[in-house]
Amino acid sequence: MRLKMAIKAFFAAWRKPQVAKKLFEEEKPKTKPTKTTDTSHLKLLVLLQSGGRLIDFLQEDLSGCTDAQIGAAARKIHQDCRSTLEEYVTVRPVLEDAEGDTVQVPLGYDVTKIKVVGNVKGNPPYTGTLVHGGWKAHKRSLPKAAAGTSTDVLCPAEVEVR
């Protein structure tokens, strides 16, 4: 029975190759597209940890420290993290005006760049006081992660052997 079916299939495929082609295309295993996860936010956190020990500072319990001790630690961490941030992701203000200045929000403004708050009525243009100038990434140059490296380890444990 199988031999007879195989011979019929052979001649059917010979007469109509497009039917046979469809048969073989359907038999190919469907591969799922590989999902790439953007871990640039974690990479930036890694850089801020290695450059300024930001995670250590944020995870530290400061309840037993004096304001002077916290200020001294924060100054160094601030300087190191700021220079690390400037090296990899240069941030610039969305609006160059000084906080407290009166600014105009034009018709058709980009809602991802400007957040209008307060007593908002009607349609733009709006006139208001700049509460915060916002931040935008001007330059982004985060290093690529090495193949095979873990993306969830922000700072490896460090063990000193004596």
**Total count of domains within the chain:** 1
Q: Which of the pair, 56 or 140, is modelled with greater confidence? A: 56
> Is residue 5 a part of any domain in this protein?
no
**What is the pTM for the complete model shown?**
0.62
Q: Contact, 37 vs 151, CB < 8 A?
A: yes
Residue 121 lies in a domain: yes
- Residue pair 55/49 in contact (Cβ under 8 Å)? The answer is yes
User: Could you tell me the pLDDT band of residue 147, with boundaries at 50, 70 and 90?
Assistant: low
Whether 109 maps to a domain, the answer reads yes
Chain-centroid distance of CA 30 in Å reads 30
Share of the chain above pLDDT 70, in %: 80
- Least reliable range by pLDDT among 37-41, 45-49, 146-150, 154-158: 146-150
- Decide if 16 is inside a domain: no
Return the SS3 of 23. helix
| pLDDT confidence bin for 95, thresholds 50/70/90 | very high
The average pLDDT across 16-42 equals 69
Domain housing 114: 95-134
Is 105 part of any domain? Answer: yes
Decide if pLDDT at 21 tops 90: no
Q: Tell me if 130 is assigned to some domain.
A: yes
Q: In the predicted model, what is the mean pLDDT of the chain?
A: 84
Give dist(CA 94, CA 143) in Å, integer: 25
Using alpha carbons, list the distances in angstroms from residue 37 to 77, 88, 145, 147. 29, 20, 12, 13
SS3 4: helix
Separation between Cα atoms, residue 114 and residue 105, nearest integer Å:
8
The answer on pLDDT for 77 being more than 90 is yes
33 found inside a domain: no
With respect to residue 108, please indicate whether it lies within any of the assigned structural domains: yes
